[in-house]
Structure 1
Amino acid sequence: MSVKEFMSENLITIEPETKIFDAVDLMKKHDIHRLPVLKGGKLVGLITEGTIQAALPSKATSLSVYEVNYLLNKTTVADVMIQDVKTIPPTAQLEDAIYLMRKNKIGVLPIVAGDQLVGIITNNDIFDAFLQISGYHEGGTRIQVKIAKDKTGVLAELAELLAKNEYSILTVIVDRAHGETIIEIQIQSQEPEKIRALVTGAGFTVASAELTKPFE
């Protein structure tokens, strides 16, 4: 799945000349934690709650309240923004975004097509993407099948078995971690034990079969 499918497109942006206090007000107004900085329509930086906090005088400062306010009133977004901004194109895969964010220890990536900012993707967007891909909100039966000896066509065998018994597959995840293969299938059904019996009877090893629903 591409980054475009999960990015936020309704963006609130800011200019380099904007005062820090105005940037803070804009974040509070829209309940957001970072702002792309545009100049002439092009991305030139990124300002976050963290960069603003780092720019504020510490509590140990000897400056008076008047002096601190005077200093902050003169400080602009350009003075404190991140200039080396990591970006990604909208055609990139979601995994590419996750890799870049993990590699660079960042929680946001502006999405740039050519020289135009077209969106932004954050940790929360990726969390939402995972919930969607895993079928978290769909409910039904989730079954985990252990494959002792992986082979070509084993997933097709499982899919054919379920289809012949009129079970509709919602999502499929294949996990090959820890030296074994586990196929996790979410099925549009409220019959976990019946499905367990069906799959076991076909010669597969079922690790679990249970009803799923969003946690409350």
Structure 2
Amino acid sequence: MFVRDCMTRSPITITLETPIFQALDIVLKKKVRHLPVLRDGKVVGLVTERGLLQVSPSPATTLSVYELNYVLSKVTVKEALVKNPISVPSDCPIEEAAQIMRDKKIGSLLVWDDEKLVGIVTQTDMVEAMVRLFGLRKAGSRVVVETADRIGVLAEITQVFKEKDINIISLVCLEVDGGRFHLTLRVSMADPAPLVNEIEARGFKIVSVN
């Protein structure tokens, strides 16, 4: 899966002159947390919900309503701007995008194609991508098999599925420690007991069945 498969296309944008209160209104009404900021049609930065709140007057302020409204009308998103936000191309694999977000401790990435902003991918988009990759919206069961790190082991396990004419919805391999892996399979069957028995009969350890 690539970033283009899970990104939010044509994201809502604002300008440097947009007042803070207006940007916060967009965040609340549109249920977004990140807004690209434009100047003369070009992206110059990004603002986040947290950043906007940090530069907004405190709820404990002693300002009157009129003074508060005046301050809010004068403070623009420029005060909360994150300059040079990190971006990726739309054909970036989602695992690479996720690693960038984790390593840089950021909640979103702008998506560019041919020097044009085409989307934004957020942590929420990444979670949705995981749901799709694991096929969690499809009915079925989850079987975790412990395997050794050796050539052909995956073919041996999936051969059981072929013989039983069982469809694999998704398959993920996780290294738990040196030389041991947990193979998580989502399968299109409500009762995987016969499948589990056959896998165990071939010498594999079943870690869990859900």
- Give the TM-score normalised by structure 1: 0.88
Equivalent residues of 1:20, 1:77 under 8 A apart: yes
Residue type matched to 1:144 in 2?
A: V
Q: Which residue of 1 aligns with 2:120?
A: 120
Q: Which residue of 1 aligns with 2:152?
A: 153
Instruction: For residues 10-31 of structure 1, give each alpha carbon's deviation from its aligned partner in whole angstroms, at most 9, with x where no partner exists.
Output: 4211111222222222223322
Q: Distance in 1 between matches of 2:40 and 2:162?
A: 55
Q: Structure 1 residue 164 and structure 2 residue 163: aligned?
A: yes
Q: Distance in 2 between matches of 1:208 and 1:30?
A: 41
Q: Distance in 2 between matches of 1:207 and 1:79?
A: 52
Aligned length: 209
Residue type matched to 2:11 in 1?
A: L
More strand per residue: 2
4+ residue runs of structure 1 moved beyond 6 angstroms? none
Instruction: For residues 50-89 of structure 1, give each alpha carbon's deviation from its aligned partner in whole angstroms, at most 9, with x where no partner exists.
Output: 1111112335656444333222211222232211312111
User: 5+ residue gaps in structure 2?
Assistant: none
* Mapping for residues 15-94 of structure 1, pairs under 5 Å: 15-59=15-59, 61=61, 63-94=63-94
Tell me the percent identity: 34
Q: Distance in 1 between matches of 2:193 and 2:21?
A: 59
Equivalent residues of 2:140, 2:190 under 8 A apart: yes
- Give the TM-score normalised by structure 2: 0.90
User: 5+ residue gaps in structure 1?
Assistant: 211-216
The range that moved more, 201-210 or 155-164, is: 201-210
Residue type matched to 1:202 in 2?
A: R
Q: Structure 1 residue 186 and structure 2 residue 155: aligned?
A: no
The two structures, once aligned, show a CA RMSD in angstroms of 1.8
Instruction: For residues 84-111 of structure 1, give each alpha carbon's deviation from its aligned partner in whole angstroms, at most 9, with x where no partner exists.
Output: 3121111111122111211222211111
